[in-house]
Amino acid sequence: MNPAPDFNPLARLYRWMEFTTFGPFLSLTRRAFLHRLTQARCALVLGDGDGRFTASLVRENSNVNVDAVDCSGAMLDALLRRAQSHAGRVRVHLADARNWQTPAPILGRPYDLIATHFFLDCLSTPEVRSLAGKLGGAASPSALWVVSEFSVPAGWFGRLVARPIVASLYFSFGLLTGLAVRTLPDHVSALRDAGFTLLERRTRLGGLLVAELWSAGGPGSGQSC
How far is the C-alpha of 209 from the C-alpha of 164, rounded, in Å?
14
> Could you tell me if residue 30 is inside a domain?
yes
User: How many domains in the chain?
Assistant: 1
Contacts of residue 42, Cβ cutoff 8 Å, sequence gap at least 6: 64, 65, 105, 106, 107, 109, 110, 111, 112, 113, 140, 225
The pLDDT confidence band at residue 220, using thresholds 50, 70 and 90, is low
Distances (CA, A) of 177 to 11, 13, 49, 184: 11, 13, 13, 17
> pLDDT (tens digit, 9 = 90+) per residue, 116-147?
999 999 999 999 999 999 999 899 999 999 99
Q: Is pLDDT above 50 for 110?
A: yes
Distances (CA, A) of 224 to 43, 52, 180: 10, 23, 37
Domain of residue 188: give its range: 8-215
> pLDDT (tens digit, 9 = 90+) per residue, 5-35?
999 999 988 999 999 999 999 999 999 999 9
**CATH number for the domain that contains residue 61:** 3.40.50.150
DSSP state, 50?
T
> Could you tell me if residue 108 is inside a domain?
yes
> Could you tell me if residue 225 is inside a domain?
no
Indicate yes or no: pTM above 0.75: yes
> Could you tell me if residue 18 is inside a domain?
yes
How far is the C-alpha of 178 from the C-alpha of 197, rounded, in Å?
33
Q: Is pLDDT above 70 for 106?
A: no
> Could you tell me if residue 89 is inside a domain?
yes
Nearest Cα neighbor of 222 from 21, 40, 26 is 40
Crossing angle (nearest 10°) for helices 73-83 and 52-60: 30
Q: Are 142 and 216 in contact (CB under 8 A)?
A: yes
The pLDDT confidence band at residue 107, using thresholds 50, 70 and 90, is low
> Could you tell me if residue 66 is inside a domain?
yes
> pLDDT (tens digit, 9 = 90+) per residue, 50-91?
999 999 999 999 999 999 999 999 999 999 999 999 999 999
> Could you tell me if residue 222 is inside a domain?
no
In 3-state terms, what secondary structure has residue 62?
A: coil
- What per-residue confidence (pLDDT) applies to 222? 46
How far is the C-alpha of 66 from the C-alpha of 87, rounded, in Å?
9
How far is the C-alpha of 197 from the C-alpha of 97, rounded, in Å?
22
- What per-residue confidence (pLDDT) applies to 225? 32
